[in-house]
Structure 1
Amino acid sequence: MNRSVILWACAALAVAACSRVSDGVPVADPSQPAAVQATPTTVPSASPDPLPGVVPTTGSPPPAGPFCVPAVLPSLRTVARVTDPGAPTATVAVPDGWAMTSGTGDVGARLEGPDGMWAEVTITATSLDPEATFREYVDDLTAGSVMSTVSMLPADMCGFSGQRLMGMLSDGGDSIEYEDRLVQVPTGNGDHLIAIHVQAPSGAPGFADAAAHVTQDFEVGLP
């Protein structure tokens, strides 16, 4: 990361922002992050530790068309698609009662739920390897926060490198909780990062279930 990660509360420290990062370990069921989180570790900006569970994509990109289709498809789904003709698509689950719209730019889809909950699916080209891509994403996610926490778990999918993030962001007043699913997809047009971000005001009822639903394994469509 581009700045030091501070583990303790930063209210009494004369710094612009602080973050706490905890690493998960590979497990058979990554949907249970509380059971696999290890003791938080300090990540110095000068020599960042490797992100957990980041492995290179195996084999060659599959042929064009739908790929990585989950065995059980959610009853309600939306296709996230961006204007970049070389970008993959992501067909993600939508919770019951949520509204869905297409996005603009790098945002392929936006979802709106109750109690201030919402989600976005972004698809962006990247020239970085998966670990560097995920680290840059975390830096951008926490950049505007006075305090943030980030827990990371491996979440590869269909041979694609992936990461699951969860935590809290605060501007010094109200705070939000979030969950993200990151997957780096190589295509014949270069690599693209598919990022599903779900957030809500801290304590919003039903957030954990809604976030788990949106960030579950999803179908990838290749150009």
Structure 2
Amino acid sequence: MKRFGRAMLVPMCLAAVLASGCIRADDGVAITSEEAVATSVAAPPNPDATADAGPAAPGIVATSRTPIPPDAVTCTEPVKPANSTVAAVSDAAAPKVAIAVPEGWTTLPGSGDVGARMRGPDGMSATVTIAKTDLDPAEAFTHYADRVMGESAVASVSVLPAKLCGYSGQKLMGVWADTPQQSVEFLDRIAHIWTDTNNYYLVAVHVQAPSGTDEFDAASAVLISDFAVVIP
């Protein structure tokens, strides 16, 4: 899928009036809410569905439910990062994930569904959430993207497939802007993970910074890179 840069996303949304805002688009192009009537996100493929059911949402793969031993590492980083942090929540059945951390960033403990927080220079920050979900991958991703869009009166997001070691996954690139002069760019990596307890979890790495921050591209690329997953 062709990737559209943030430079394309920003003008499209900031040109929209605050009342109309923008909505999510899975083909990499933001659209205004007036165009939303005819827009929908396809569900993941269903073996019982007919052939004309339409394409799956980006990044959706069949969920494997093969039994795994306790404390199994089901996903490893392609390259061991120089700095990393393990994000974990109090839910004993939830997966743990090891996230690469850019040089010069600090890590802080999280609470609730937030497994880790990180702070960088120039107003950059990141959070890792690990939340139990009853939704299938496509529904969970749509719900997450809609929640992200609700953070600002004017927002845009571009969705790209980002499968992770056989898990369904997506990347979300976007901008929040209450005014053209005050905007925040963000980049998210989300994954839908099944555990041996027959529970599903949505893992989300969210990175944000004031729009135009010089080091954002480099830092966010590190933070949303493939991460290690450990199933309790």
**TM-score of Structure 1 vs Structure 2, range by shorter chain:** 0.7 to 0.9
**1:202 aligned onto 2:211:** yes
Residue 24 of structure 2 aligns to a residue whose secondary structure is strand
* 1:25-36 matches, cutoff 5 A: none
Distance 1:85 1:117 in 2: 30
Distance 2:182 2:164 in 1: 34
* 1:4-83 matches, cutoff 5 A: 9=13, 13=17, 15=19, 17-24=20-27, 37=28, 40=30, 44=36, 48-50=40-42, 51-60=57-66, 62-65=68-71, 66-83=73-90
* Residues 203, 79 of structure 1: alpha-carbon distance in 2 compared, 3 angstrom cutoff: same
* Residues 93, 14 of structure 1: alpha-carbon distance in 2 compared, 3 angstrom cutoff: closer
Residue 140 of structure 1 aligns to a residue whose secondary structure is helix
When normalised by structure 2's length, the TM-score is 0.79
Distance 1:79 1:73 in 2: 13
* 1:143-158 matches, cutoff 5 A: 143-158=150-165
Deviation at 1:55, TM superposition (A): 2.2
Of stretches 127-136 and 45-54 in structure 1, the one that deviates more from structure 2 is 45-54
* Residues 41, 9 of structure 1: alpha-carbon distance in 2 compared, 3 angstrom cutoff: closer
When normalised by structure 1's length, the TM-score is 0.82
Of stretches 192-201 and 52-61 in structure 1, the one that deviates more from structure 2 is 52-61
**1:181 aligned onto 2:181:** no
**CA deviation digits over 1:5-60, x for unaligned, max 9?**
xx965766573x52243435xxxxxxxxxxxx4x5567736862223232222352
5+ residue gaps, structure 1, are: 1-6, 25-36
* Residues 60, 13 of structure 1: alpha-carbon distance in 2 compared, 3 angstrom cutoff: same
Q: Kindly, what percent of the aligned residue pairs are identical?
A: 42
Equivalent position amino acid for 2:184 in 1:
I
Deviation at 1:202, TM superposition (A): 0.2
Tell me if the contact between 2:78 and 2:226 (Cα under 8 Å) persists in the aligned partners: no
Tell me if the contact between 1:144 and 1:171 (Cα under 8 Å) persists in the aligned partners: no
Distance 1:61 1:176 in 2: 42
Distance 1:59 1:23 in 2: 27
Residue 23 of structure 1 aligns to a residue whose secondary structure is coil
Deviation at 1:188, TM superposition (A): 2.1
5+ residue gaps, structure 2, are: 1-10, 43-56
Given candidates 171, 193, 200, the residue that maps to 1:191 is: 200
* Residues 142, 120 of structure 1: alpha-carbon distance in 2 compared, 3 angstrom cutoff: same
How many positions carry a matched residue from both structures? Answer: 203
Tell me if the contact between 2:190 and 2:205 (Cα under 8 Å) persists in the aligned partners: yes
Residue 160 of structure 2 aligns to a residue whose secondary structure is strand
Deviation at 1:170, TM superposition (A): 1.3
* Residues 12, 69 of structure 1: alpha-carbon distance in 2 compared, 3 angstrom cutoff: closer
Q: Which residue of 2 aligns with 1:96?
A: 103
Equivalent position amino acid for 1:212 in 2:
A
**1:212 aligned onto 2:221:** yes
Distance 1:170 1:40 in 2: 14
Tell me if the contact between 1:77 and 1:94 (Cα under 8 Å) persists in the aligned partners: yes
Residue 49 of structure 1 aligns to a residue whose secondary structure is coil
Give the helix-richer structure, 1 or 2: 2
